[in-house]
Structure 1
Amino acid sequence: MFKRFSKKTAHLLAAGCLMAGMATTAQAAELRFVHAYPTASQHHKNVLWFTEQVSEKTDGEVTFRIFPSAQIMPINQELPAILSGQVSMTYSIAPVVASVEPLWGIFDLPFLFDIKVDDTSLGRKFFESEKGGGILAKAMEKRGFKLISIAPTDYPSSFYLTDSNAIETMDDLKGLKIRIAGGRIGQLAGEAYGYSPIAIAGAELVPALSQGVVDGGILPPLYAYDNKLPVKGLTIAPFAWVGLTPIIMSLAEFEALTEDQQQVMLDTGKELGARALAIVEERTAKGLKALEDEGATVVILSDEDTPAWQAKAKPVWDAFVEENGEDARIMLEEAIALRSE
């Protein structure tokens, strides 16, 4: 026997079914993930691992379309594209993000992060600290972004020379022409340590090194090795983590996910951060060994020498705080405090 409903009840049931259907649809999301790195790079491998994990943990409710190798746009257009709704998320790099949120310039500061070749735990502590990565996350939310993960693919930048005489003391730097990516912090660091900083784009780096336009550069080791740069004298030291790579998402699209899906994204981002650092440790050790085998001189700055280099950097740190305010001061003090634990 069928039960007869009134028109009003039928309308309410229909509306309820429609809302239920909308809720079901809202739980499924396909996110457009763009990045500028080749498919053979560690960046792309990290993206594949992250997206596969998220899709699996959400039972296929959250899926991804990945566009690598700057297929859709160059890296400096990715963040504006997120805000305009063209794409959902990206695997960016600190200098690009700093052009939107200057607090990311903290990774430019010389010798702030005392990272060892075989121990990157200080970086992880800072990324996961409320006074470190937490401040960066809140700053990004104010600008319409969600910080999902900080997942480095290389060790901090160090000194690389075309000459086989690697830098061993600060005096060895004086008078040298050193390539930097650009920015005021890079210029101030040159003044502090006595070298001439010359801003050169990445695409022009090899000719500049080969033709003697510069004597060397401040470069990350895996980048130097993977790109077969013509460098012979390497001084491995945590000078600056300019090549730091965060995963950043549209805040609006993140908030459109269910609470469970959001938590999966953040938990998986945290797992990726730890995994990425472990890979950096392993690959850096292998890369430096390979460079030595190919005839490069490799010097690793000792723990005893590091404090003198840090002391020289203090005016650069102070300038960053002066330019960026209280949040910059808190992050700086947090990095120093974590270093002494």
Structure 2
Amino acid sequence: MAFLNNGLKATGLGLALATGLAFSAQAVTLNMNHQWPATTVGSKVDQWFADEVEKRTDGEVKIKIFWSEGLAKAGEALELLQSGGLDMAAMSPGYFPAQLPLHVAPNSIPMKMESVEQASTLMKRLMEEVPAYAEEAEANGIKALFFHHLNPYLLVSREPITSVDQMDGKKMRTWGNDMPRMVEAVDGTPVTMMLPEIYEGLSRGVVDTAPFAVDLVVNYKIYEVAKHISEITLWEGPSWGVWISSAAWEKLTPEQRTIVEEVSAEAVKRDREAVIAAADEARATLKENGVTFHEFPQAEKDKWRNALPDFFADWIARMDEAGKGDAARQAVAIWKEVIGES
């Protein structure tokens, strides 16, 4: 009997060990490179996302975030996702116009949205109604989990700018293909610059101005080197996405994928509410730190917009050449509905 009991105990121990090994085999840690510091409103949402995924999967899926380009420069993230150097990345599609041209448009076409709600509605509809977006990501070996929001990018500058004529010769931080043309339309000089370079760029006069959201001006302490903000929305749109490589996605069980997608949907709502709330607080902080907000007369806004090229038509033409023209037309039609443009 003692032998039998010992045998049962041994068998039970073996089952327990096997169960533990099976659990361990499902556990995965995903390393995520992040283009922002941990202090931004959206970054805090991403940390909540990571924590919540770990919690709801009972620790089976852990997401370790490396802030402020801790693993790679933002412009290197896509290649590293494809090669396996990264599992996940918080990155703006606007940095990859050649690889993600459909995703780039809402992330970079200037002066075509005004509010966080418009940007949120647009990206939701594009992802749900235009299959080519998911197909484009898949072709690049990645999957978009969700996209962030940003408050409108106003004109932040070292000296007051309240008219189009004052942009003549001014150097402005830009990204992508279309933002530089927005600057050139008013005789300014575009300067391609990554986020971490903006403070030093303004401080040293490499650029005179930069489109930026008021809460990000606080986060990056831009108010120390640029004391003027003009009330003109140069860009508004869906911001960086939280992406996972196709290889990393395949590591997850169906149940884990469902949890990640559920948390992603909740993160979008949490992010939108937090970003909108951050704007008023940031404006108060900036005024306390000596920043002056300037009106940009409607006539001057119209003058700038009238000088712009037809970004929608140009984008569709480029997408026609890439074999994605139909998807671009569908996207523009949705975009115009969202912003009420005929």
The answer to whether TM tops 0.5 is: yes
**Judging changes above 3 Å, is the alpha-carbon distance between structure 1 residues 228 and 176 closer, same or farther for their aligned structure 2 residues?**
farther
**Judging changes above 3 Å, is the alpha-carbon distance between structure 1 residues 268 and 308 closer, same or farther for their aligned structure 2 residues?**
farther
Which residue of structure 1 aligns with residue 256 of structure 2? 261
CA contact (8 A) 2:30 2:87 kept: yes
**Matching of residues 276-315 of structure 1 within 5 Å:** 276-299=271-294, 310=305, 312-313=307-308, 315=310
Cα distance in 2 for partners of 1:23, 1:281 equals 44
Taking structure 1 as the reference length, the TM-score comes to: 0.78
1:274 Cα deviation from its structure 2 partner: 1.7
1:182 Cα deviation from its structure 2 partner: 4.1
Please identify, of 236-245 and 315-324, the stretch whose mean Cα deviation from structure 2 is larger. 236-245
**Matching of residues 35-114 of structure 1 within 5 Å:** 35-98=34-97, 100-106=99-105, 107-114=107-114
Q: Give the letter for the 2:121 counterpart.
A: K
Sequence identity, in percent? 20
Which residue of structure 2 aligns with residue 224 of structure 1? 217
Cα distance in 2 for partners of 1:268, 1:140 equals 20
CA contact (8 A) 2:120 2:238 kept: no
Number of residue pairs matched? 318
Cα distance in 1 for partners of 2:254, 2:295 equals 46
Which residue of structure 1 aligns with residue 337 of structure 2? 337
Which residue of structure 1 aligns with residue 125 of structure 2? 129
Cα distance in 2 for partners of 1:194, 1:45 equals 38
Cα distance in 1 for partners of 2:118, 2:237 equals 16
CA contact (8 A) 2:108 2:175 kept: no
SS of the equivalent of 2:281 reads helix
1:41 Cα deviation from its structure 2 partner: 3.9
Equivalent in 155, 162, 186 of residue 159 of structure 1: 155
Which residue of structure 1 aligns with residue 135 of structure 2? 138
Cα distance in 2 for partners of 1:192, 1:245 equals 26
Runs of at least 5 residues in structure 2 that lack an aligned partner in the other structure: 1-17
**Judging changes above 3 Å, is the alpha-carbon distance between structure 1 residues 71 and 82 closer, same or farther for their aligned structure 2 residues?**
same
Cα distance in 2 for partners of 1:35, 1:201 equals 13
Aligned-residue RMSD, C-alpha:
3.5
1:256 Cα deviation from its structure 2 partner: 3.6
Q: Give the letter for the 1:150 counterpart.
A: F
1:247 Cα deviation from its structure 2 partner: 0.2
1:246 Cα deviation from its structure 2 partner: 0.6
Which residue of structure 2 aligns with residue 178 of structure 1? 171
Please identify, of 256-265 and 310-319, the stretch whose mean Cα deviation from structure 2 is larger. 310-319
SS of the equivalent of 1:113 reads coil
Runs of at least 5 residues in structure 1 that lack an aligned partner in the other structure: 1-18
CA contact (8 A) 2:27 2:61 kept: yes
Q: Give the letter for the 1:179 counterpart.
A: M
> Is 1:324 aligned with 2:289?
no
Equivalent in 182, 190, 211 of residue 183 of structure 2: 190
1:164-213 superposed Cα distances (whole Å, 9 cap, x missing partner): x342x44443x141312344312321233343323355555445434545
Cα distance in 1 for partners of 2:22, 2:338 equals 44
1:4-26 superposed Cα distances (whole Å, 9 cap, x missing partner): xxxxxxxxxxxxxxx99998666
Taking structure 2 as the reference length, the TM-score comes to: 0.78
**Judging changes above 3 Å, is the alpha-carbon distance between structure 1 residues 285 and 214 closer, same or farther for their aligned structure 2 residues?**
same
